[in-house]
Amino acid sequence: MVISIIYILPFRSSLTFNGIILAIVTFEAFIKTDSASAIRASVALALTIIISGLIILHINRLKQNLINESIRDPMTNAFNRRQLGSHLSSCLAQKQRNDIDSGILMLDIDHFKKINDTFGHSTGDMVLKRVTQLLFKHIRETDLLFRVGGEEFLLLMHNIDSHKAKQVAEKIRKIIEKEVIIDNYPITVSIGISMALAHIDDDNWMRHADHALYDAKESGRNQIKMHQPLSNYCPTKA
Query: Does residue 58 have a pLDDT over 90?
Result: no
Mean pLDDT value across residues 115-140: 96
Q: How far is CA 170 from CA 175, 215, 223, in A?
A: 9, 15, 8
In DSSP terms, which residues pair with 54 in a beta bridge? none
Grade residue 38 by pLDDT with cuts at 50, 70 and 90. confident
pTM above 0.85, yes or no: no
SS3 198: coil
* Model pLDDT, residue 69: 65
Per-residue confidence band for 56, with pLDDT thresholds at 50, 70 and 90: confident
- Least Cα distance to 105 among 149, 154, 176 occurs for 154
pLDDT the model gives residue 238? 41
What CA–CA distances, in Å, run from 1 to 17, 20, 38, 43, 169? 10, 12, 19, 16, 56
Task: Classify residue 159 as left (phi > 0), alpha (psi -120 to 50) or beta.
Answer: left
Is pLDDT of 65 > 70?
A: no
CA distances from 37 to 21, 33, 43 (A): 17, 6, 10
The pLDDT of residue 83 is: 82
Res 111 pLDDT > 50:
yes
Measured between alpha carbons, how far is 187 from 176 in angstroms, rounded to an integer? 7
Active site residues: 151
Q: What is the pLDDT of residues 168-221, one digit of tens each?
A: 999 999 999 999 999 999 999 999 999 999 889 999 999 999 999 999 999 999
